[in-house]
Amino acid sequence: MAAAALLAGCSSVGNLTPSRYARAENGFYRVEAVWNSNSEAIREDSFRPEVVVGLKTYPMQRVPLVQDRWEAYIPVAPGETEIVYHFRFDYVENGFYHAKQGSADSPDYTLKIIDKK
């Protein structure tokens, strides 16, 4: 049982995005997440992180030179003043007999867009 607990480990997704951005002319805003895990069973090359905004998803890319950080640019329509989003990390874990799919979701976050005066 102890071996199973070590394989399972503990994983979480954290938000590194500011809660407010000044309105961008191009309508895209950078969101960033950090992946925390002590599980050695997760296949490093299997990560499929994304940002979920409503029913749309946006793939995330690794932040260069920084371990366990991921980023994406998400669109916000010109009239919108805030959006709600969360992060989802899908991955594959090694098991005793076969690999299995895993997933970790963050809570919802709100990004406020402030109009320039």
pLDDT tens-digit map of 82-114? 999 999 999 888 877 878 888 889 999 999 999
Domains and CATH numbers, the chain: 10-114 (2.60.40.10)
Asked if 69 and 30 count as a contact pair (C-beta separation under 8 A), the reply is no
Q: How far, in Å, CA of 112 to CA of 23, rounded? A: 9
pLDDT at residue 6 greater than cutoff 60: no
Confidence of residue 3 (pLDDT cuts 50, 70, 90): very low
Residue 84 has a pLDDT of 98
Q: pTM for the full model? A: 0.84
Q: What is the pLDDT of residues 14-73, one digit of tens each?
A: 999 999 999 999 999 999 999 877 677 787 788 899 999 999 999 999 999 988 899 999
Question: C-alpha dihedral over 88, 108, 58, 49, to 10 degrees?
Answer: -20
